């Protein structure tokens, strides 16, 4: 590992421990040349996921882009940012576990909506309005009626 201070490649590990919930290893190192101490992280390298956009363009999956969209949808809903981080991690993990390395943006959007429906109806409506490109009040009403129908079905199933 190259020292950030003197660029020497000889260092020794002082301490190692799990980070990011066990998905990476944090190592404290010391340069054998200048004795500068620094931290490195070791993660499993994953094959990048390619997202196929509506217009047919392809781009690499960006967790920060997804997190930004979720943050916007969840503004002023009281949902903790840590919960959104966890949600993005879960979504990314489920995408990584798929056999194909390409996924459509609509598949990602539907996965997000499934999770938001449980988490917050307000965030669900906000995200759906952008993702599904609502063009008017009728789109909002139809979505709200769908949520109410789902609630009614769940209530009936619980009572039965």
pLDDT band at 113 (very low <50, low <70, confident <90, very high): very high
Tens of pLDDT, residues 59-87: 999 989 999 999 999 999 999 999 998 89
pLDDT of amino acid 22: 78
pLDDT of amino acid 102: 92
Tens of pLDDT, residues 26-72: 999 999 999 999 999 998 777 789 999 999 999 999 989 999 999 99
Count, residues in the chain: 160
Domain residue spans of the chain: 11-43, 50-159
pLDDT band at 98 (very low <50, low <70, confident <90, very high): confident
Q: 49, 95 in Cβ contact below 8 A? A: yes
């Amino acid at each position: 590992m190259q020292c950030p201070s003197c660029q020497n490649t000889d260092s020794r590990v002082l301490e190692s421990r799990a980070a990011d919930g066990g998905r990476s290893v944090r190592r404290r190192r010391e340069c054998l040349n200048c004795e500068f101490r620094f931290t490195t992280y070791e993660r499993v390298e994953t094959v990048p996921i390619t997202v196929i956009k509506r217009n047919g363009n392809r781009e690499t999956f960006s967790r920060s882009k997804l997190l930004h969209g979720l943050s916007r949808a969840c503004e002023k809903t009281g949902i903790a940012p840590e919960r959104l981080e966890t949600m993005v991690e879960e979504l990314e993990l489920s995408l990584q576990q798929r056999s194909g390395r390409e996924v459509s943006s609509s598949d990602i959007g539907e996965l997000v909506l499934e999770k938001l429906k449980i988490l917050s109806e307000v965030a669900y409506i906000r995200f759906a309005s952008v993702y599904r490109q609502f063009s008017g009040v009728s789109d909002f009403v139809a979505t709200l009626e769908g949520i109410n129908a789902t609630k009614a079905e769940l209530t009936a199933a619980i009572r039965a």
